[in-house]
Structure 1
Amino acid sequence: MTASAAATAIAHRKAIAAAVVRTKAKARLRRALVILPIAGIAAAAAFERQDYLEWKEDNPEGDLEQYGCELSAVSTEVIDEVLQDLPEAVRPSKGWLLSRVPSCETQATGQDLAGN
């Protein structure tokens, strides 16, 4: 029983590690494609459209505005992590970036997604 549980745990960890590596590889490829001027614009648009369509499957009643608000909220949450990955020489200030993220109002509370 213990050997089976250990084998299952190892297989699970390997599956998670493989998924992480795959996700990082896709992100790396996306970044590489976006660097190219014309192909980059087309690739960025295609990636954004695909992300929206995947979101739409999980939120069939949602619209593009709701998707944008959700995307803004998540982006605000991870901004520190993203900025730390950038070289300091090209890293914009957090305040500057946050000032450019649109504020969305929630329908239920009248507060923006950051709780303000």
Structure 2
Amino acid sequence: MARLYDLDADVLLLGVDHGSNTSLHLAEYRRPAPPRQRCGAAVLTGDGGREWVWWDDVRLDEEDFARLGTDLETTGAVRLGPVGDGTGRLMRQRAAVDFAVDWLARNRRTEES
């Protein structure tokens, strides 16, 4: 996602709203002091086995992305148009992420990790 941001890539949502816009997760990483959680997964070891590894990461939560996206659309940064029987949403990823960082700071309360 960060590479797409650096390239100022386009994001095209086809037939879905911003609740499915995974680019907005980058804003969660970029907001000041994001809430964190402990994560774990089995990873392959050099000898072909598996080992459970733990790490701390940003807690991702797309629950309010649809509302965030509605507010983003009011800025004119999103072009809407018909695509088949659905709606397409086209935007610059950098503009969406920058807006989302500010939006999250205003609309999500700071939580302890």
Q: Same fold (TM over 0.5)?
A: no
Higher strand share: 2
Give the number of the structure with larger relative contact order, counting CA–CA contacts within 8 Å between residues 6 or more apart. Answer: 2
Identify the TM-score tier after normalising by the shorter chain. under 0.3
Higher helix share: 1
State the TM-score, normalized to the length of structure 1. Answer: 0.26
